[in-house]
Amino acid sequence: MEQLVASWHNGRSLPETYVLPLEIRPGKLYVPVSTNIIPVVDLGGHDETAIIQQILEASQEFGFFQVINHGVPSNLIDEAMNVFKEFHAMSAKDKAIQCSNDLNKNCFLYTSSHRYATEKYHFWRDSLTHFCHPLEKQIQFWPEKPTRYRNVVSKYTTEVSKLGSTILELISKGLGVSPEHFSNGLTENPKMIVNHYPPCPDPTLTLGVPKHRDPVLINILLQEEDLYGLQVFKDEEWIDVEPIPHAFVVNIGYVLQIISNGKLKGAEHRVVTNSNSARTTASFFVNPSDETLIEPAKVLVNASSPALYRSLPYKDFHSKFLVTSADWKELEKFVRTTSA
């Protein structure tokens, strides 16, 4: 495995392999101002119709929203973030050992991206990823250190999975799709991705994650308090997503864009770095199983609203996503119907 950024970044200038082409460099970064542009949805409210409307409007305009009063205990959120940070604080050797027992790579540690060996330039992050379902099968491959990792993260993923089901149920009601639509293989393969972004020598020249759309239904993201980094692309500018304590950031993935027949949009986003502090985030990807067909929900397709996307197995869609390096324009050509 290539050397993790966290194992060598201290005191070094930015290596040439991390200097991005001018057209995708973040350039001068300004101190984020707390503006709460991204909508915040209170799931604890009593007016379900209003909550659904907020979610749909945010999903259509931004492809992003944050949720508060979501039911995941604050102490569990804090415990999970602490254990994620503890994992990435271990030595590179110890971290590699924790992921060496799974020959199928369901638990995987990497730096930059899965394509490190072939990519033209690298990105400033280290990542731990593992599958979460069925828990009793997958947990044996999760890290054994920190010693409380499996105990804490199993509780955390169980709660976040429930939250994902709640959000998808609200979205289904807003779209007029049966809530059972998401109870089959479309949500069968959830995955955790724990990203770590060490302090960067020059954040103007590189990125933690480049511009992309997630190849999932939804991503439920936990940000570290007080540390900015996630940005959403809207109206030709980058908008900072404020890290609200104990809130989750929810973004619409490309798969849900397909299922909604384009009514919801998978938003482009990226991650910028900073030179002062390490930043850790945890994404819970709600993924279909490989063989599940992804296609527009039939109730959303009619003579006046024809299908914009063709039907295909998720594994074919995801393979194309990797091959095109998440280029959404190439993905659009691949998944669009010939008549769209």
pLDDT in tens, 217-246: 999 999 998 899 999 999 888 999 999 999
239 DSSP 8-state letter:
E
Q: Which two tokens stand for residue 292?
A: 């599940």
Q: Which two tokens stand for residue 21?
A: 């082409």
pLDDT of residue 184: 79
Average pLDDT over residues 267-294: 95
CA distance 254 to 267: 8
**Partners of 185 in the beta sheet?**
none
How far out from the chain centre does Cα 243 lie?
15
**285 touches 299 (CB < 8 A):** no
pLDDT of residue 31: 60
pLDDT band, very low/low/confident/very high, at 35 (cuts 50, 70, 90):
low
CA distance 221 to 217: 13
Which of 8, 7, 199, 17 lies closest to 96 in space, CA to CA? 7
Global pTM value:
0.95
- Quote the mean pLDDT of the chain: 92
Long-range Cβ contacts of 132-141 (<8 Å, 24+ apart): 132/157, 132/161, 132/190, 132/191, 132/192, 132/284, 133/161, 133/188, 133/189, 133/190, 138/106, 141/101, 141/102, 141/106, 141/107
**314 touches 255 (CB < 8 A):** yes
CA distance 244 to 241: 9
Average pLDDT over residues 4-31: 86
Q: How confident is the model over 241-263, as pLDDT tens digits?
A: 999 999 999 999 999 999 999 99
Q: In terms of pLDDT, which residue wins out, 1 or 292?
A: 292
Q: Using a pLDDT cut of 70, give the percent of the chain over it.
A: 94
